[in-house]
Structure 1
Amino acid sequence: MHDYQRLLALNLLAYGAQKNLSVEHLCQRSDIDLVALKADGPLTTRQLDDLWINATDLSGDALFGLHFGESLQIAALGVVGQLIRNSRTIGEALTHAASFTHLLTDALTMDVERTRSGFSVQFIPDKVRQRTAPAMFRQLVDFMMAFLIHEVDGLVLARIQPDQITFPAPIADGPEYERVLRCSTIRAGDSYELTFAGEYWSEPVLLANYDLQATLLQNVNAMTRSYESGQRMSDRVRSYLLANANLGLPSLDAIAGNFNLSPRSVQRKLQGEGLTYQQVADSVRKTLAIHFLESGRHPTKEVSYILGYNELSAFSRAFKRWTGTTPGGYQKNQQS
């Protein structure tokens, strides 16, 4: 697991200690060797997931992630935090934060989008991680939302307030979310999203240091390359396909070029993991097909085109092989 995920775990434990939790008991329940963790020892995804769940349980605070995010300072994120603090504007700081979210977690990605009237920050779940560890995921997304809002304050010495917040699932304590997230307009929707007025985007960051920022970017980019090089090739390919799904699924040649490898090298690495590119691509197609159909925003023919099928019949056959039903049958089951 990456150093920044370990850093997040240590900060979570420190916050737990502030809430009078026994750190030793929390680590024991999460199967974590605290001495080894402090000494740069390894931490698995399962251990970190369990840490979130056990901290929530032992604290008796159903909104543990929300309150942890409210309290954590950006300096706790090391070089990534420094990079955000030395950005020129709020918009640039958020863009950097989105680019390096993967260093903190593999359970979600962060997307920043400008609109005519403002901008939005969306937290996009990894569907598998969300499905296999829903309690952890909900605490994590609460943490990310609260942390973003409260740490932006320190960059500009102003009280930043979202215009609107969207959750795809019901929230347990509306008034507390309104207090921590500073927004009374909390709606049900298709995403985890914060919407802000456009005036904040160009707000200058008080501590900006452009020369230092360039150095920090080099350091963080080097960490990203190290992180990616340690990933399984199938995970790298899957992440790339999902990230670029709006452009249609790229060819093996295009992916290999992005990784600075030959197509044969990518194939060989995948074969070493017992997979082919076609198998990975089909897995991504299945994930995306289900996502697009469940959203209800795209007709079946458009989904087929997005996923690279020349004919609707070919997509229908593939979807039935994946799920046991046709795309139309799947949508009907979702609506019933």
Structure 2
Amino acid sequence: MADTDFFLPSQYVQQIAGQMTRMGVRLPDWLLQLQRPGLNGELEVQHLSFADFQRLVREAIALTGEPAFGLLVGERLLVHSHGILGYAAVNSLSLRQALQLMERYFLVRTSLLSVQVVTDGALTRLVFSEPHPLGDIRMPVMEAVILTIKNLVDYVTLGVCQVATVSFPFEAPAHADLARELFGCEVRYGGDWTGFALSSEHLDQPLRSGNPEALREAEQLCQQELAKLTRQQTLSARVRRLMLEKQGGFPTLQVSARLLNMTPRTLHRRLQDEGTSYRDILEDIRHHLAVEHIKAGKLTLQEVAYMLGYDDLSNFRRAFKRWEGVAPSAFRA
């Protein structure tokens, strides 16, 4: 992930550092050297690169000896930790509105994951995706983010709408029982999606904390923050996000250009200026999703190929062998 595409407010970094301190661990010298006085005069890390963030998470787990470190951080991230997005969610008039706000403005809190609301009959899922591969910090990041957002949903609904299931794409860790205790619901591992599901019947029930005027002001601030971040983000990251939002039907170069309010030629030229192309981004996303689907083992190879836009299984097999050096069937075995 390019640092221009990485965004994480300093208060989240402080929460990680605070949890390390609470567990009796001395903060690494390199992190202390990055601290600068914040607006309130307290020292904080204001500009952390993605590589430094990965290093911090790895060292937090290694130094504390706690593989469930992500869950412990997520449990301590309260509503006020999520800034204007948390405030907007609390003042939403319904749970559906709160979930749609998270889907639309999640980027104002972090670029580590993106969110999509998927309603399928009686269940509605909040599905989290990786715009860029998280690598070996995937599990703690996903555990922290999904737990804190699940707790936010519990807070705004006052427990009326219970989360039914939490799903993770990785295999069950040794601390799976702790995860089930903290989530307070069924937690499934090895799935083909990441996030949580809840009953659709409660989505439109009025929330007691709803405040139309406060919500309007909060959403305007979210729009301003999102516009600022979008301007700072590289074009390739914006194209990548568009593709991840449309998994199973990736937008063409022409459609992507239209969505980004530019001509296909301009989009092609600007991506070239960033050292990439539409085809390269699509290839990278297909590679990443193919590996994840095959690791999960929930779909047949034919289904994976279809989801990634291949109309011929043999074309998918050839592409996968080019990416990983082995056929998808061998990789799965």
Q: Count residues with an aligned counterpart.
A: 322
- Distance in 1, Cα, partners of 2:226 & 2:179: 33
Matched, 1:102 2:107: yes
- 5+ unaligned residues in a row in structure 1: which ranges? none
The correspondence of residues 114-129 of structure 1 with structure 2, limited to 5 A, is: 114-126=119-131, 128-129=133-134
Contact 1:86 1:209 in 2 (8 A): yes
Contact 2:91 2:214 in 1 (8 A): yes
- Distance in 2, Cα, partners of 1:105 & 1:74: 15
Q: Once superposed, what is the RMSD of the aligned Cα atoms?
A: 3.1
**3-state SS of paired residue (1:128):** coil
Contact 2:271 2:277 in 1 (8 A): yes
**3-state SS of paired residue (2:204):** coil
**3-state SS of paired residue (1:297):** coil
Contact 1:169 1:188 in 2 (8 A): yes
Among residues 48, 52, 56, which one is paired with 2:57 in the alignment?
A: 52
- Distance in 1, Cα, partners of 2:122 & 2:320: 39
Task: State the match for 2:271 in structure 1.
Answer: 270
Contact 2:123 2:200 in 1 (8 A): yes
The correspondence of residues 194-273 of structure 1 with structure 2, limited to 5 A, is: 194-247=196-249, 249-273=250-274
Deviates more, 1:30-39 or 1:79-88: 30-39
The alpha-carbon deviation at position 180 of structure 1 amounts to 0.9
- Distance in 1, Cα, partners of 2:310 & 2:225: 37
**3-state SS of paired residue (1:239):** helix
Task: State the match for 1:162 in structure 2.
Answer: 163
- CA 1:308–1:177 in structure 2 vs 1: closer, same or farther (change >3 Å)? closer
**3-state SS of paired residue (2:52):** helix
Task: State the match for 1:11 in structure 2.
Answer: 15
Contact 2:248 2:309 in 1 (8 A): no
Which amino acid in 2 is paired with 1:259?
L
- CA 1:14–1:143 in structure 2 vs 1: closer, same or farther (change >3 Å)? same
Contact 1:252 1:263 in 2 (8 A): yes
- CA 1:19–1:99 in structure 2 vs 1: closer, same or farther (change >3 Å)? farther
- CA 1:101–1:49 in structure 2 vs 1: closer, same or farther (change >3 Å)? farther
- 5+ unaligned residues in a row in structure 2: which ranges? none
Percent sequence identity is 22
- Distance in 1, Cα, partners of 2:278 & 2:171: 35
By relative contact order (CA 8 Å, sep 6+), the higher-ranking structure is 2
Deviates more, 1:99-108 or 1:252-261: 99-108
**3-state SS of paired residue (1:242):** helix
- CA 1:165–1:10 in structure 2 vs 1: closer, same or farther (change >3 Å)? same
- Distance in 2, Cα, partners of 1:289 & 1:67: 31
**3-state SS of paired residue (1:205):** coil
Contact 2:9 2:109 in 1 (8 A): yes
TM-score scaled to structure 1, two decimals?
A: 0.81
TM-score scaled to structure 2, two decimals?
A: 0.82
- Distance in 2, Cα, partners of 1:64 & 1:321: 36
The alpha-carbon deviation at position 182 of structure 1 amounts to 0.8
Contact 1:156 1:204 in 2 (8 A): no
Contact 2:147 2:183 in 1 (8 A): yes
Query: Residue by residue, what CA displacement relative to the aligned partner does 1:54-104 show, whole Å, maximum 9, x if unpaired?
Result: 333333433222122222211122111111111112232123223333333
- CA 1:241–1:196 in structure 2 vs 1: closer, same or farther (change >3 Å)? closer
- CA 1:215–1:148 in structure 2 vs 1: closer, same or farther (change >3 Å)? same
Query: Residue by residue, what CA displacement relative to the aligned partner does 1:109-133 show, whole Å, maximum 9, x if unpaired?
Result: 233323333323333345622xx3x
Which amino acid in 2 is paired with 1:44?
S
- Distance in 2, Cα, partners of 1:39 & 1:171: 32
